[in-house]
Structure 1
């Protein structure tokens, strides 16, 4: 029997929590590992948890070793970091980039990351620049298969309250058909489904998935 280990970073977030549930019930992967800074409130039966300090490169590398597919769904908000841009960058840029480096060095062949629509190293928006800079570094990491997912507004129940985002979601959902495809709201569950589908494919190289590409990935699995 072939053993495949799927490792998730950011398992307590909207997309990450769905990833863990989907991977735990998917026969393609025989092991599910969670890398976190603290023990998650809910852990699916059989999943392994590695609690580490993400700024400790030895611990981070050790937690990644043995992975066949590494899923990175970390992210924070300005409110959480109290406006500290350095702390913001550590989460949205440094963790994904360091994860990719450890992925490559340990021989993990697939890396899948949640980014954001509009991500670019050339933008003046600090959030999208963090994501864009991370994408550029990961693209150059040498990992055989890299998949970047760029959702727009995410729909789904979060563990935390985001009033501004919730209000925007209420306004945008009925009008989503008017938006250019890549800016349409998408369920966090659907992003997770698309990521799992991509991880199970044989495609190699660097790929970016927006709304339409994510929905197409899901449909191919039906």
Structure 2
């Protein structure tokens, strides 16, 4: 039975990854490391609450038995972090530190929730895209048995702290989906629950040794396929 670690378990996508794993009978243990306790609960949950994120790598290394798969949906916004420099410390530096700690600890599979457009001409020139690129490249270079990167579009769902303009954009994308079909919505953004299910589904495929590539990138269409079309609860 699989054991998992979820980083970013109190965020929008991470909380859905956690709740999905907690209802999975094939998962024996789900560990989390976060500044505050996750909202989801369950008999397989082992939550570590540590306000000082500089201690997270050590906490990860101490988990026994070592999780077979680590999920990272860790991220913040410039507004919440108090500027680009502070956002970089979380979205880039902390993610890389934890990926390295996971590899050293013996984690076999690593799943990182990135973002669409980070490899585009414009995205690669912006700080946000550069943060995501740095983490993606590090995860690839570390040489996990399987490294899985998800690149969703706009993440649709209700956040505890709404992004500036987020509710309006989310409402607009969903309205387009209602008017012109779900395919239009899927081309712009994906529901947080669908992204989370795609992450879990892909990890299961990796656990079975059936991942199509050692470094497996899931673009938006792949996320919809794994997280909704082919999803079996």
> Which residue of structure 1 lines up, in the alignment, with residue 73 of structure 2?
73
Structure 2 residue aligned with 1:205, among 181, 189, 214?
A: 214
What SS does the aligned partner of 1:31 have?
strand
Kindly indicate whether the alpha-carbon contact (under 8 Å) linking 1:155 and 1:188 is maintained by their aligned counterparts in 2.
yes
Work out the CA distance in 2 between the residues paired with 1:70 and 1:7. Answer: 5
Calculate the aligned-residue CA RMSD, in Å: 2.3
Q: Which residue of the other structure, out of 190, 196, 218, is the alignment partner of 1:192?
A: 196
Counterparts of 1:90-105 in structure 2, within 5 Å, are 90-105=89-104
**TM-score normalised by the chain length of structure 2:** 0.85
Matched, 1:220 2:230: yes
1:141-175 per-position Cα deviation (integer Å, ceiling 9, x unaligned): 11110111111111112111224111112223333
Call closer, same or farther: CA 1:22–1:10 in 2, change over 3 Å: same
If the length of structure 1 is used for normalisation, what is the TM-score? 0.89
- Between Structure 1 and Structure 2, the one with more helix by share is 2
Rate the CA distance shift 1:121–1:74 in 2: closer, same or farther, 3 A.
farther
Larger displacement relative to structure 2 (197-206 or 59-68):
59-68
Maintained 8 Å contact 1:65/1:106: no
Is the Cα–Cα contact under 8 Å of residues 97 and 134 in structure 1 kept in the other structure? yes
Whole-Å Cα distance in 2 between the matches of residues 21 and 194 of structure 1? 13
Deviation at 1:61, TM superposition (A): 2.3
Aligned-partner Cα distance in 1 for 2:152–2:76: 15
- The equivalent residue for 1:45 is 42
Which range is displaced more, 103-112 or 154-163? 154-163
- 2:168 & 2:100 partners in 1: Cα distance? 37
Q: CA deviation at 1:64?
A: 8.1
Partner residue of 1:116?
115
| 1:188 Cα offset (Å) | 0.1
SS of equivalent to 1:30: strand
Q: CA deviation at 1:120?
A: 3.5
Secondary structure at 2:169 match in 1 = helix
Per the alignment, in what secondary structure is the counterpart of residue 80 of structure 1? helix
Mark the CA change 1:135 to 1:67 in structure 2 (over 3 Å): closer, same or farther: same
Counting matched residue pairs gives 218
Say whether the 8 Å CA contact 1:115–1:131 is kept in structure 2.
yes
Counterparts in 2 of 1:49-64, with a 5 A limit?
49-52=47-50, 53-56=52-55, 57-63=57-63
- Partner SS, residue 15 of structure 1: helix
Match of 1:170 in 2: 171
> Structure 1 regions of 5+ residues with no counterpart?
none
